[in-house]
Amino acid sequence: MGGRWSNSMELLKASWGVLRKHKQLVAFPVISAAVSILLIVALALPAYFITGVKNGHINNQALFYVFFFIFYFIGSFVVIFFNTGLIACAQECLRGGDPTFRDGWDVAKQHVGRIAVWALISATVGMVLKMIRERGGIFGAIVASIVDVAWNLLTFFVIPVLIFQGFGVIDSIKESAKIFKRTWGENMIARFGLGLIFFLLSLIGIVPIALAVLTKSAPVIIGVAALVLMYWTVLAVLSASLTGILATALYDYAITGQVPEAFPQQVIAGAFQPKTRRGFLSR
């Protein structure tokens, strides 16, 4: 486990080095978050009044789920669109280029149709999992969580496959799953390692909020809460940027067998060592 954590830290450092050199990559998650908030607020207002939520209960369950699905779809589309631009630029950066935001935007525009289809599939899966969680009790929550993790693992490389190999959405999902399966071992440790690092960093924000609450002063609580929210926003932007860079680096190595110059050879190569099966189920 110590070695895996060390690998995650090395990958984080390498991704951070790329981001420091190419700060324009941060623009993609920043604009993605801003656009998502604006669009969701624009939809939330009519949903609030039409579905009856403003009265403390839902008058029309079906209509509520329709609005919720629209939220899922729009949110997914915006995130995927800007992630596409981020990954396109990240690959150019890893290969020695210095792309602009416009370069990534143009790549995303070229694939807007397939991005919409992928967003539709993602929204559908998300909606189904939400319904399983709501109606299945504890068992449903557990099953939905397991399926959610598996789905995210198998579709981890969908965007790079879609834009770099020119596959359709369904074929991109299949190819992403193939890449994941044939490189199984420690490749996803990197992703979860980064997630854990940012989760631990986010917990730090709870401390000043707790201390502010102890003062029982509304101005202090509001001020501290605002600062912590800004801190969490910065973390979210950095996490999205670094994850995009890491996904691109792992994808490039999986396809070409060559480690991007900015990443340690032994760490990337070790992330793709096939998993050794043990026990009576081994074949």
pLDDT in tens, 90-123: 999 998 899 999 999 999 999 999 999 999 999 9
Which pTM was predicted? 0.81
Residue 19 has pLDDT above 60, yes or no: yes
Of 191, 210, 231, 240, whose CA–CA distance to 90 is shortest? Answer: 240
**60: confidence class by pLDDT, cuts 50, 70, 90:** low
pLDDT the model gives residue 29: 93
143/275: higher pLDDT: 143
Q: What average pLDDT is seen over the chain?
A: 83
Of 166, 190, 193, 161, whose CA–CA distance to 177 is shortest? Answer: 161
pLDDT the model gives residue 271: 60
Q: Could you tell me what percent of the chain has a pLDDT over 90?
A: 38
* Residue 23 DSSP one-character state: G
The residue with tokens 């690092």 is 197
**224: confidence class by pLDDT, cuts 50, 70, 90:** very high
Q: Are 83 and 25 in contact (CB under 8 A)?
A: no
Residue 280 has pLDDT above 50, yes or no: no
120-124, 151-155, 176-180, 193-197: which range is least confident on average?
A: 193-197
Of 45, 51, 16, whose CA–CA distance to 263 is shortest? Answer: 16
190/195: higher pLDDT: 195
Q: Are 195 and 280 in contact (CB under 8 A)?
A: no
38-42, 63-67, 259-263, 278-282: which range is least confident on average?
A: 278-282
Q: Are 135 and 128 in contact (CB under 8 A)?
A: no
pLDDT the model gives residue 253: 84
125/65: higher pLDDT: 125
Q: How far apart are CA 167 and CA 164, in angstroms?
A: 8
> Hey, how many other C-beta atoms are within 10 angstroms of the C-beta on 28?
28
Q: What is the mean pLDDT of residues 244-255?
A: 87
Task: Kindly report the length of the chain.
Answer: 283
pLDDT the model gives residue 59: 60
Q: Which two tokens stand for residue 229?
A: 């929210």
Q: In 74-230, where do the E strands start and end?
A: none
3-state secondary structure of 105: helix
pLDDT the model gives residue 68: 78
**255: confidence class by pLDDT, cuts 50, 70, 90:** confident
Q: How far apart are CA 98 and CA 267, in angstroms?
A: 25
pLDDT the model gives residue 282: 41
Q: pLDDT tens digit string along 64-87?
A: 777 778 888 988 999 999 999 999
Q: Which two tokens stand for residue 207?
A: 């401390």
Q: How far apart are CA 179 and CA 165, in angstroms?
A: 13
Q: How do the domains of the chain map onto residue ranges?
A: 2-270
Of 76, 52, 73, 72, whose CA–CA distance to 63 is shortest? Answer: 52
Euclidean distance between the first and the last CA atom of the chain, given in angstroms as a whole number: 25
Q: Are 167 and 161 in contact (CB under 8 A)?
A: yes
Q: How far apart are CA 250 and CA 157, in angstroms?
A: 9
Q: How far from chain centre, in Å, is Cα 226?
A: 24
Residue 34 has pLDDT above 80, yes or no: yes
pLDDT the model gives residue 227: 92
Q: How far apart are CA 240 and CA 67, in angstroms?
A: 26
